[in-house]
Structure 1
């Protein structure tokens, strides 16, 4: 259905009226975004509260599902593990004489090093930065300056998105070499065995524990005069009879530097435990990211920037 104006209005007047209407819509949107910023601040404060150190903390089970390899728990308070008791039964890590398993206890000594989860520290800092951005958008600058508010919302989206990716396990902390980010042996009492790597990270809001027993690379394939798998042709007697060996884990053939020494991973065990508090943080960050994106898209349209580089 077409709408006609009679007598026809000059094109210049039509454009002027359209610009006036657009300016009024933009002003209305900027006013309404102040309410949106208040709502975003409330959501970010809820995330900050979930990441804050509050007793008694979250006690999480860290146990292997179909074996007795790993049985135990850890307690997280804020960004730190304050307690932990894990029993290990690994074929490549024999227990002390007379003991059925190796016991790992997080040290309770006040002089000992703290077990800090670096990913959570980064996420907490990003949430705090997001709150600062909201405060600057609300109390600093001109709230009716479309360019200023657009820039602040764009920055807020990037910061919240980075926090969400970090919690999902896509940040720099999880991409690094596990040799550099494994827990210090002195965090435990008694200290960890020198050939055991205890690596704890966060993926999809869950704590992921990966235990690796290590051996010097020189010992991994050290043939002797009586070895049954020596072959000058490249095919061992064992392989001809039983077929080639299937690697026991995905790092079996890789070489790593551990405390200045070349090592291989002899045995690898992975255990995960969902953290309800972190799952709540993930849900809130995802909702906040979508809300900021909606505000940015609406503002971009009224500013006439829908064809710019775009999509946040």
Structure 2
């Protein structure tokens, strides 16, 4: 069975009508995408607000689970940590006299180097770039040019994806390399000890704090892998797994130009509601952009 058009339409006329229909559909879609761009701008402005400095900032508790090894708080204002009061109890970090724990306090002195979360700086920059793209798509360029709008939607897709990646963090992020992401010791008052690494990053929209005590690698550095008690050695001989104090035990890192090993390591995550909300909004915005791009590609008859 075949389908025929009645009355008969000439091939040229049919092609003209099809082209006209496609052109009308494309015009309708471009008009609809202007409304989408307005919604995207509102969502991006909300994300920018969540990452912007506020009067009081976000005060986050940082505390080690089931131990007194690390207790305290930090206050984030925009991309900076402006306050911090942390107490450490580590076997490899001597406690000063008259103290019950080692104090770490972010300096409030005007000349103190700032403690900046570079991932948040990157995310804010990318979100602002998205807002510029939306404004250019609405006011500066030809909103009726499908190729122009397609390029702008692609820029939005890339920038939103990278902003999400900055808030996601993880092992592939440059911010995760604590040995190269150095903090000026004068950021703290008193200054950070030379054998202590203090590292802040963003992981899954949470603030991740890692504290490490370090030891220089020399020819006389003991092999920590062999530093087991008699009971540990017997347990290993009987088939038990070899206990590790932390996941970087025995690894050698280059820190401030010197080879070091990590003696003790603490890792604490603190959920930040504003960062979590920004991540959720970016996820929704990314889906909206993807749907707009897909619809435009289909009407423009682009290959998938």
TM-score by length of 2: 0.91
Matched, 1:272 2:260: no
- Tell me how far 1:140 sits from its aligned partner: 1.4
- Closer, same or farther: CA 295–191 of 1 in aligned 2, 3 Å: same
1:243 to 217, 236, 240: 236
Matched, 1:126 2:126: yes
C-alpha separation between the residues in 1 aligned to 2:246 and 2:272?
26
Instruction: Answer yes or no: is the 8 Å Cα contact 2:249–2:263 preserved in 1.
Output: yes
C-alpha separation between the residues in 1 aligned to 2:21 and 2:249?
67
1:251-281: CA deviation from partner (whole Å, max 9, x where unpaired): 1121011222211000111000000000111
1:173 maps to: 174
1:112 maps to: 112
- Tell me how far 1:238 sits from its aligned partner: 7.8
- Closer, same or farther: CA 240–55 of 1 in aligned 2, 3 Å: closer
Question: Where do 5+ consecutive residues of structure 1 fail to align?
Answer: 224-228, 231-235
Three-state SS of the structure 2 residue aligned to 1:201 is strand
C-alpha separation between the residues in 1 aligned to 2:298 and 2:234?
70
1:260 maps to: 257
- Tell me how far 1:192 sits from its aligned partner: 1.2
- Tell me how far 1:240 sits from its aligned partner: 5.4
- Tell me how far 1:132 sits from its aligned partner: 0.5
2:196 maps to: 196
1:18 maps to: 18
C-alpha separation between the residues in 2 aligned to 1:158 and 1:2?
46
- Tell me how far 1:15 sits from its aligned partner: 2.2
Structural mapping, 1:18-37, within 5 Å = 18-37=18-37
Q: How many residues align?
A: 296
Instruction: Answer yes or no: is the 8 Å Cα contact 2:63–2:71 preserved in 1.
Output: yes
C-alpha separation between the residues in 2 aligned to 1:2 and 1:211?
74
TM-score by length of 1: 0.89
Three-state SS of the structure 1 residue aligned to 2:180 is helix
Three-state SS of the structure 2 residue aligned to 1:33 is helix
1:136-158: CA deviation from partner (whole Å, max 9, x where unpaired): 11111211000000001001110
1:194-246: CA deviation from partner (whole Å, max 9, x where unpaired): 100000000110000011100112243279xxxxx79xxxxx98875342753
1:233 maps to: none
C-alpha separation between the residues in 1 aligned to 2:293 and 2:98?
65
Matched, 1:144 2:144: yes
- Tell me how far 1:96 sits from its aligned partner: 1.1
Three-state SS of the structure 2 residue aligned to 1:273 is strand
Three-state SS of the structure 2 residue aligned to 1:60 is strand
Instruction: Answer yes or no: is the 8 Å Cα contact 1:153–1:296 preserved in 2.
Output: yes
C-alpha separation between the residues in 2 aligned to 1:11 and 1:95?
90
- Tell me how far 1:4 sits from its aligned partner: 4.8
- Tell me how far 1:51 sits from its aligned partner: 1.1
Structural mapping, 1:56-135, within 5 Å = 56-135=56-135
1:294 to 275, 291, 296: 291
C-alpha separation between the residues in 1 aligned to 2:256 and 2:158?
37
